[in-house]
Amino acid sequence: MIQDIPKVNQSIITKVFPPRKPAAHKNDFGHLLVIGGSKLYTGSPILNALAAYKTGTDLVTIVAPKRTADTAAAFSPDLITYPVEGDFFTPAHLDKVFELIQGKTAVVIGSGIGRRRETLTFVQEILARQTLPIVIDADAIYGLVGQHSLVKEKKFVLTPHAYEFQILTEAIPPAGLEERIELVKKWSVELTSTILLKGSQDIISDGQETMINETGNPFMTVGGSGDTLAGIYGGLLAQGVDEFDAGCAAAFINGAAGDLAAAQLGPGMLATDLLNFIPQVIMETLIS
């Protein structure tokens, strides 16, 4: 019954943000690698990275085609960037990306990369050869079509919206929430992965546990709010939070930050506005 499905609340923040020890030092709270961007989409990995930083990740590195990497470097001095030649990722970039993955604690892949065949082949090779926690977002989900074995028995998480879920599973998410929940649970079991199905009510399931998130609002249809979600999720994974709790917290924080931004800006809010409210959402709980 739907009333038996728990809803994410502020307690998830206390759970995933334990007090920091006075002797903490750099790298204790993770190093995230963002693999994203293309000639066409330069902003997505920037939003990933800044959202992860705002969530407390110590270090974030962006590897991206040159135009995106240069844009990111100019956008913020906080961002570490590594450019690769060309307009899109291809298998020719695999050696360099695998080199950069060394020493990282989590990965976000997919935001803004596009769906060219050679780019999706690049994604498939990354997933086939990695065991780190990875957020598979946006265009990277298309690389899993007919390739479900790439995610099984690994610490990968998927963050599709309804259409991406349909592309991945060939199953249309039903309108009814109870049926939608059952479908997400079924595919979480099938893929042995945590799925965060984005929507007006986010559904997070690892097949064993399932929760609903109700933060967020219709103004978050603006481009980039999914990129901030993926960045928060990746940042929490990089800090060592498990896949299910990180998904619940990411959905709650992203939606609550969007609610604060919308309260001030309404239909004029941008994803970059949402970023500024992430620390407020976290701290309002931790100091209460």
Strand extents, DSSP E, the chain = 31-35, 59-65, 80-84, 106-109, 134-136, 156-158, 194-197, 202-205, 210-213
240 marked ligand binding residue: no
Task: Please identify which residue in the block is written with the tokens 């001095």.
Answer: 77
Q: How are strands ordered across the β-sheet holding 80-84?
A: 80-84, 59-65, 31-35, 106-109, 134-136, 156-158, 194-197, 202-205, 210-213
Q: Are the CB atoms for 138 and 112 separated by under 8 Å?
A: yes
Distance CA 155, CA 83 (A): 27
The tokens for 28 are: 């204790």
Task: Please identify which residue in the block is written with the tokens 């980039």.
Answer: 224
**What is the separation, in whole angstroms, between the first and last Cα of the chain?**
33
Distance CA 36, CA 38 (A): 7
Burial class (CB in 10 A: 0-12, 13-18, 19+), 94: middle
Q: Are the CB atoms for 227 and 271 separated by under 8 Å?
A: yes
226 marked ligand binding residue: yes
Distance CA 254, CA 263 (A): 14
114 marked ligand binding residue: no
227 marked ligand binding residue: yes
List the binding residues for AMP: 226
List the binding residues for (6S)-NADPHX: 112, 161, 227
List the binding residues: 112, 161, 226-227
